[in-house]
Structure 1
């Protein structure tokens, strides 16, 4: 029997900057939403296989009361070579949430409009794409790592509601942008506390503590287990962001993933001197094939650029 979608929307207050991050988190905390086919309206029944993949997602974000089991920690710990034990990890996470304000009220479902999300990667195939206005038309625009807009507005747009980052990839973040923080090691939580501290108020890498959501290691493991079938290492930041959007949003559009015209995994805002650039520990080809399949099955709209 097919899984039926549940429509999740929020009141106009959702758009107020002070509740932007909480609104997106609340979309999940109330119930899981499933992505729809693009024909026949925003929400409709979806096939049971896709529905089951999405419904098995753990809570994507950590909170003061929802932390991580020791089994998940043991899977997550070797990703980037953390040496500390589970006790130290729990203490570090607890200290981090002493700085982050508690969540506001949970948004309630209503028969309003659906939520559209644009996930914008950094591929060089965005150059000359003229996707800017299309990207900005979405309710949420999620940019990844150092993806810039200035000077590239025609191709990538100007709107940024959410920024995915980890310490090594952190750009300057405006106080109107929600941070989706992806921690890959225990030190990342310590870095985040420093970035949110009052002493860091004048730093260009300041993070605003009332606009932070921390991705759970349990969600990272879920992406590896369910979407990558426990192969090819853990998912890339971009791939995990796409899966996260499938869990949180009603309609997902994906831009800026894959190789450029020269066959390189390059960035639209950088110039590379060498050809044959790859994707490091991540299997870019495997992840790209999944984007293509999701597009063919009308679970996402995948814009391949030029």
Structure 2
């Protein structure tokens, strides 16, 4: 069955991602928590207090059951349907403020009627925006997308700009990436295409992040830069609590609370009416948290 095929592949990818991050960090290892609920089960894997990584989580779940009224209204599903959902989600919060936060998610959703779709994406949230690194990051994502469809990157990049946005702050969460949802996987051709695409993204995720982490993990930083890191983490928390679809779906489907909130940073802060110094890297970063920046062709 398709759902078992996808779930098995995603579970294997979860383990591969954890192994790659453990090797790159060189100190901490992931702890595995296998949980079971009435709706299904999952493996929550968490790494803390590493050499480069302060906190990383790589979640896998496979859940299902009757579609609730809230899910039906949110997803426009007919009454009487059952659902199956499986996916991987990951978040990495680094120790060094010169290393970015990253997030990845791939997921598959199937209804008892036979309708199915895929979603997912990868995005980058630097505490300090480095144009060269943002350009390289987007080039890597475009290369993966182009292997499957040259329309993917431009379409999914715009989708990410719109999705990873805090309207109450009028700023993007970071430098974006790609995001997609409800990509039809009902027929065999589309299923094969998007199943392979989501696997390719999950495989690329640790490679891309480890390269960025390795470049910056030993850079010196000041207490002021560390404080800025906690402020930017605060913005991350705001997005996840107010707008993140995965958080909302997890809560509405009676998912496991501890796993749902693993994306939160270990420490965040909010300073009233914070204003960066003129000409500072903090001010420059805020000026670059905008939609529709063509990062691949951006100049330093």
TM-score by length of 1: 0.28
Higher-RCO chain (CA-CA 8 Å, sequence separation at least 6): 1
**Structure that is richer in strand per residue:** 2
Indicate the structure with greater helix content: 2
